[in-house]
Structures are given as structure tokens and as C-alpha cells.
Amino acid sequence: MRHFVFSLFALLLACGAQAELRVFATVPEWAALARELGGDRVKVYSATSAFQDPHRIEAKPSLLAQARQANLVVAAGAELEVGWLPLVLRDSGNAAIQPGRPGYFEAAACVDRLEVPSVVDRAHGDVHAAGNPHIHLDPHRVQKVAEALAARLAEVDAPNAATYQANLKAFSGKWQAAIARWEREGAPLKGVGVLVHHASFTYLTHWLGMKELGTLEPKPGIEPTSGQLSGLLARQQAAPARMVLRTAYNPEGPSQWIAGKSGTPAVLLPYTVGGTPAAKDLVGLFDDTLQRLLQAVR
């Protein structure tokens, strides 16, 4: 009997040790942040990779299965996932992760956003009413999201609140030191003009003081046209950009066309965690981004 009780107690301890908080993150950057803050208390699933356009994802059964088991959804918000996440949440049957519940978290809601339109008109392309959703490329905004996410993790998993706050403290110390280094290293980029495939880098260029001189897309979400590219090429004479930026999921053809015609470097940036081999985590994301930008202006 004594052996049975001991075995049962050991089994309960083992089950308790495995009771991780399940986090469903919509994009790799917020999955990475959840891992930083949650440590071994969380099991994080990223619904997308760096090689997928987060605007254009299908609500596949595999996503429903993950959402059904989740304790917390961490979304970018600002309508980035509007084409698929509402369907996943609805069809998951998981009441805990619906908008308005503690199990649903939007990163964009934690910060002020750039490019908030005064008028929303779909004739202007894929315009986000809540502003540009790609907030993760400003490290100061990442810090604000980290603070809010740590608080939410503590709310959803109250017995481990102290762990999440300790992890936030460790992350913040590392992150603030990295920001100081990045801003020092990135000083030569101030005022540098760039062309971008899509408005994916608005927060990055705003943070570094760079100037976006045009987009390869004629309207947000509309693939580049020959007319748009020719117009940008003509403008290079009067207001030359120093580089053309794209993500890992953007087609390389349009930026390579501009590069070939103008001699302007076409630069692939990781955009998110996993976008390049060096961008293995959030610090690596910014380290590699800065190195690629600086190499292009040399």
C-alpha cells in the first residue's frame, strides 16, 4: 500500500511538472518573446514562419487543433491576421482564448501605432484601420509589449507569476543594453533613403531615422506592377534610394529589377525571427538586420 501511495504521488508530481502553459502565437516574433518570458513554463506554437506572409494564411485544421489546446493566444493585432485568425478562434471551440478574455492578447494594442489612416477605403489597398501592424521592428515597442505580455502570463497562470516577472526583469536588462548598442551602431543609417517592397519596415526605418522614398507595391497588398517599378526607377534620378528592402516572403524579382536597372543594392532583411540563419531569436533578429543595412550603405 505504501509503495502504491508513493507511486501515485510521484505520478502526480510528474503530471504537474508537465502542465505547461500552452501559447498559440500567430507570428514568430511574438512566439520568441513568449519563450523569453515563459521559459520552461510555456510550450509555444507559432502559427506562421518567417517565409509566410502573415496577412495571407489559411485557417487549416492543424491551426484549429493547436488553438483548441491553447491557454493563451498571442496575436500581432491591428488586423494583421484578420483574414484567418477570427476563423481559427471561432472554430476552435475554445472559450478561453476568445477576444475579450484573458486568454487572448494583442501586441499592437500595447503601443501607439504609425500610419493610422484618417479614412479607411479598401480602394487604397490592404489598409489597416488600426495602423501599421509591424510594430516588432522597433525595439522600444517590443519592450512595452514584453511588459504587458509578462503581466498577462501572470494573470493566466497566477501560481507562476513570480517566474514570469523574474524572466521579464532578465529580458529587460539584456534588451535595454542591446538597444543602446544597436542605436550606437545604427547611427550611420540616419537619413538614408530606401525603397521597400511592402510597408513591413516602417517601424524599423522610423526608429533608425531612415527615409522611405517609395514602395514597390502600387497599393498595400497589391503586387508590384511594371508601371510602378518604372516610376520608382525614374524617381531615382532626383531622389535616389540607397537600397531596396524586402522580407524573406516577398518575391525577389521586383527588388532585383530595380537593383539591376539602378545599381541600388537589393537587401533581404530577416523581418522576423527565422528570416535568416542568424536571426535565431529577437536579439539575433536586430543584430542581423543592422549588419545587413550597414553593409549595404558601405
Reported as a single tens digit per residue, the pLDDT across 246-269 is: 999 999 999 999 999 999 999 999
Which pLDDT score, from 0 to 100, does residue 205 have?
Answer: 98
Supply the Cα-derived Rg of the chain in whole angstroms.
Answer: 21
Measured CA to CA, the distance from residue 272 to residue 285 in angstroms comes to 6
Which residues are bridge partners to 72 per DSSP? 23
Give, in degrees to the nearest 5, the angle at Cα 296 between 293 and 297: 90
Measured CA to CA, the distance from residue 84 to residue 194 in angstroms comes to 31
In sequence order, which residues have a C-beta less than 8 Å from that of residue 82 and are 6 or more positions away?
none
Strand pairing of 21-25 and 72-75? parallel
Q: Is the pTM of this model over 0.75?
A: yes
Distance of CA 221 to the CA centre of its chain: 17
Query: Which segment of 5-14, 63-72, 147-156, 271-280 scores lowest on mean pLDDT?
Result: 5-14
User: Higher-confidence residue: 1 or 106?
Assistant: 106
Give, in degrees to the nearest 5, the angle at Cα 152 between 202 and 183: 35
Q: Does residue 18 surpass a pLDDT of 50?
A: no
Reported as a single tens digit per residue, the pLDDT across 86-138 is: 999 999 999 999 999 999 999 999 999 998 876 665 555 556 677 899 999 99
- pLDDT tier for residue 160 given thresholds of 50, 70 and 90: very high
Which pLDDT score, from 0 to 100, does residue 119 have?
Answer: 64
All three cell numbers of 251: 518575391
Measured CA to CA, the distance from residue 293 to residue 65 in angstroms comes to 39
Helix axes 161-185, 139-156, angle to 10 degrees: 180
